[in-house]
């Protein structure tokens, strides 16, 4: 029990130190995150996650390490869907690139707290009412189907209740006013577009947590494994956003892979009382689904670009001959 408590304390302390270094040292001044910097931070967060998996293997054994890797990959892959939402939010509110990291930092910090609450609640529910796993499984399958058949729709922040409530409590400021979330104008506190972006990011994370946390519980019942896999995947989300922001249009079919992962995990939870699916098989299926959908998306986009280039060349041909 003492080791378990110290493991929680040590991990949370590590996360707080890394977040303090991130905002207080490396990103103290607002600036545009370039590809090279985003790639470096992505490597750092991924390496730390893999080191944690190795440490789990030597301290707790092979099975907990496999469960961590599977949970981490589930959270990481589902988080990619968040990136499309981030782009829509920043584009709609016209948030300059140099301030996007600040919004994502506080947004993901809030997400860590919310995910911790979700993990605790889910653990208590499963411990007290094991039949809740059937509800989680059915929810994951329904969400997977919904993701597979969804259509792209224009993002409208003004229609969300969270934004309407925020603007009711704090009127919107006339201008962005640097990196501030709240400013004083005409003697009144007002919200800047940065605060609205932060509110929308927190709301979107709550929606995604409803899918991702039950999905990891489909792999392991250990709250520490669920929490650490979730947190480490989220910590690398900001860097991944800046790394992939310019390439996300090449992954338009990735949602089919995410849908397959949710349906698989949901089905696994429903049949678990009668059929035990090995963790290594779950890990293999998730890697295959995400990799396949990513490659299909990439090749589809390349074909579309080649077809568009050929069409332009054909249309320009008569003019050149003339």
Report the pLDDT value the prediction gives residue 55, as an integer from 0 to 100. 93
Q: What is the DSSP string of 106-145?
A: HHHHHHHHHHHHHHHHHHHHHHH-TTHHHHHHHHHHHHHH
pLDDT-derived band at 37, boundaries 50, 70, 90: confident
Identify any residues that bridge with 189 across adjacent strands, giving them in sequence order: 184
Identify any residues that bridge with 184 across adjacent strands, giving them in sequence order: 189
Cα separation of 211 and 206, whole Å? 9
pLDDT tens figures, 140-193: 888 888 888 876 655 555 556 666 666 676 677 767 777 788 887 777 788 888
pLDDT tens figures, 251-284: 777 788 888 888 988 898 898 888 888 888 888 9
Report the pLDDT value the prediction gives residue 262, as an integer from 0 to 100. 87
| Torsion on CA atoms 135, 140, 145, 146, rounded to nearest 10 | 90
Give how far the C-alpha of residue 133 lies from the chain's centroid of Cα atoms, to the nearest Å. Answer: 23
Q: How many CB atoms lie within 10 A of CB 22?
A: 19
58 against 87, higher pLDDT: 58
What pTM was estimated for this model as a whole? 0.82
Burial tier of 214 (Cβ tally within 10 Å: 0-12, 13-18, 19+): buried
Instruction: Return the structure tokens found at 161.
Output: 């209740």
Report the pLDDT value the prediction gives residue 52, as an integer from 0 to 100. 94
**Mean of per-residue pLDDT scores for the chain:** 80
Cα separation of 138 and 302, whole Å? 36
Report the pLDDT value the prediction gives residue 1, as an integer from 0 to 100. 42
pLDDT-derived band at 322, boundaries 50, 70, 90: very low
22 against 232, higher pLDDT: 232
């Amino acid at each position: 029990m003492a080791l378990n408590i110290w493991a929680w304390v040590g991990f949370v302390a590590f996360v707080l130190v890394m977040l303090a270094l991130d905002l207080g040292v490396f990103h103290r001044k607002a600036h545009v995150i370039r590809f090279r910097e985003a790639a470096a931070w992505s490597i750092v967060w991924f390496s730390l996650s893999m080191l944690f998996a190795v440490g789990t293997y030597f301290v707790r054994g092979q099975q907990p390490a496999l469960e961590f890797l599977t949970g981490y990959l589930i959270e990481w892959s589902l988080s990619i869907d968040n990136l499309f939402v981030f782009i829509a939010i920043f584009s709609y509110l016209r948030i300059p690139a140099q301030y996007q990291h600040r919004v994502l930092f506080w947004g993901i910090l809030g997400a860590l707290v919310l995910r911790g609450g979700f993990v605790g609640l889910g653990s208590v529910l499963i411990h007290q009412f094991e039949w809740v796993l059937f509800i989680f499984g059915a929810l994951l399958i329904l969400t997977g189907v919904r993701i597979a058949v969804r259509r792209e729709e224009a993002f409208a922040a003004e229609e969300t209740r969270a934004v309407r409530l925020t603007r009711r409590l704090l009127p919107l400021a006339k201008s962005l006013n640097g990196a501030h979330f709240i400013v004083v104008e005409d003697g009144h506190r007002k919200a800047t577009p940065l605060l609205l972006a932060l509110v929308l990011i927190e709301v979107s994370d709550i929606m995604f947590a409803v899918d991702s946390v039950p999905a990891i519980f489909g792999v392991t019942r250990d709250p520490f494994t669920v929490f650490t896999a979730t947190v480490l995947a989220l910590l690398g989300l900001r860097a991944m956003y800046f790394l992939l922001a310019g390439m996300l249009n090449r992954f338009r079919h990735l949602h089919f892979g995410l849908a397959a992962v949710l349906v698989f995990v949901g089905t696994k939870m429903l049949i678990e009382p009668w059929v035990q699916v090995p963790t290594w098989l779950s890990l293999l299926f998730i890697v295959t689904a995400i990799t396949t959908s990513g490659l299909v998306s990439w090749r589809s986009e390349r074909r579309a670009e080649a077809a568009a280039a050929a069409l332009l060349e054909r249309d320009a041909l008569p003019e050149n001959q003339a």
